[in-house]
A = this chain, B = another copy of it.
Amino acid sequence: MISEKTISRLSLYHYLLTTLKEQEIEFVFSRQLANMANSTPAQVRRDLMVTGYEGNPKRGYTINELIVAIEEFMGLKEGVDMVLVGVGSLGRALLSYFYPQKPRYNIVAAFDKGSNSDRVVSGCRVYDIAELAPVLAGQRVTMGIVAVPAGAAQQVTTMLCEAGIHGILNFAPIRVKVPRNVYLENVDLAVTIEKIAWFANRAAGKKE
């Protein structure tokens, strides 16, 4: 079985490899990738095993080939189509982030309610939330981003699931319920901050 952590790290390696490629570097060793990823060489090699790609003991990994291997393994060739629900301050930041610089990640439609809808924000059409099902019916979108207030999050999540979405990225600070055939990831800023605050207090004790 392949773990969430391995998948996350593969995604990171993929990104790191593309930056190396931009610098016209051809080969890389596991120790170098580990260094860039704040990880260890053994971890990198173990992660890369799942892709089936094999490096060369003398040169390391051929960057071009490894990029392709990771893309094939993770299905990154086609890019990711997404919808966004909630075009408030966070939603707008996300829209401006993805458009137009990140062509691999495509927000194909956004939804809000009332007078916040029926507009175009950062190149993306904003529909009324009531149109979610009809608009999605025409698309082959796998992922939805939830950026509405906590009180509305469960409702829009359920709507997304019923519309055939299979992955949810939830920014609202509650733990929404999804059917078992939907993958859910919460990005909870309050939790993240309290965690950092806790470890920061501890880290402050260590030397250097």
Contacts and interface: CB of A to CB of B under 8 A. Distances in A.
Interface of A: 4, 7-8, 11-12, 14-15, 36-38, 74-76, 80, 82, 89-90, 92-93, 96-97, 102, 105, 142-143, 165-169, 173, 175, 177, 179-185, 187-208
Nearest 9 pairs between A and B by C-beta?
A167-B200, A183-B199, A166-B200, A11-B194, A167-B196, A93-B93, A89-B93, A181-B206, A166-B204
B197 A15 contact: no
Given A89-B92, A180-B208, A204-B181, A80 B194 contact: yes
State the copy count for this chain.
2
Contact of A97 (B90, B184, B208): B90
A19 to B, nearest CB: 8
Contact of A167 (B80, B189, B199): B199
Contacts of A96: 89
A185 B196 CA distance: 7
A169 to B, nearest CB: 6
A38 B175 contact: yes
Contacts of A182: 200, 203
Contacts of A12: 175, 188, 191
